[in-house]
Structure 1
Amino acid sequence: MHNFLFGIFPYIALVTLVVGSIARYERDPFTWKTSSSQLLRRKQLIWGSILFHVGVLVIFVGHVVGLLTPIWVFDMLGISHGAKQLLAVVAGGIAGVMALIGGGMLFHRRWTDPRIRATSSVADIAVLAMLLGQLVLGLGTIFVSVQHLEGGEMVTFMAWAQGIFTFDGAAASYIADAALIFKLHL
């Protein structure tokens, strides 16, 4: 099961993302949106949206750079594995809290205001709830990461992510001993 979840399933997810996005764009190009409720509880929408989107963008860039940059680049720049992990914990933690607060505001707005809820689809609420769950799991990994600030855990996940993108058949084995919270986050 481990090999399927962390060695095969990432490819299924990536293919689904790419093919599904292309198919959706070709079939219904202007349907990637939630129902408009911009005039309702506007202040909560603005603050929630800014916090959520800035936080998620920082997290996304941090994950791409942090996981897919070859380790020798960090070594060449004189950035130790521990310093890289500490940067990820601090920057990721701040961005994660921003995204969680913003997402929480958006979820609260969408869930508690009857006028907004009436314009929301089940998918709108479900996607936001899943994103918030993923943020909570990501923030939960910080508590494990700070117990191992030497950077070994970070290097392990870098090897796994780079292995997935280079079609390394052994990629799943790199995280076999990782803490459960990391696996749930993945």
Structure 2
Amino acid sequence: MRRHDSPAGADPRASTLRPCMRRHDLPAGADPRTSTLCPCMRCHDLPAGADPHTSTLRPCMRRHDLPAGADPRTSTLRPCMRRHDLPAGADPRTSSLRPCMRRHDPPAGADPLTSTLRPCMRRHDLPAGADPRTSTLRPCMRRHDLPAGADPRTSSLRPCMRRHDPPAGTDPRTSTLRSETTIM
């Protein structure tokens, strides 16, 4: 839960700015600042003064730590896309909304285009009492990098990570501009 996008000169260990979701289960000796196994989860889209603990704006899903020349659209080092905003006062060590750091890469030798171990898309910001296993408030699963003629409902390619937030004042549970709903 260290924070790395502090203002110049700020102590990243103590800063209250946006949490860094880098991976901490790196190979022995790996540098977490440069390792390619550290998906960048820093928030880049918060309005000035927004509280990253309660903001509904999702973390940036762009990858920033791919090896030189790597194609972020096809890389198999896909980060988990769960939501990570903790309610005010929540303990990140015990909260059920704590950052998901599990990897969903295919097993060695698996084809990343067909593997079922794709990034976790389960949402954690459900209404009180909602069952995250069946709730329809799930992120957008539309796929935008398909070959011509591919069916986005069945394609095994990567899901769309673009935001679908509703306009101010709309109900995020019903708005069609929110993350697409999918009954799992």
- Larger Rg computed on CA atoms: 1
Which structure carries more relative contact order (alpha carbon 8 Å, separation 6+)? 1
Question: If the length of structure 2 is used for normalisation, what is the TM-score?
Answer: 0.25
Q: What is the TM-score when the length of structure 1 is the normalising length? A: 0.25
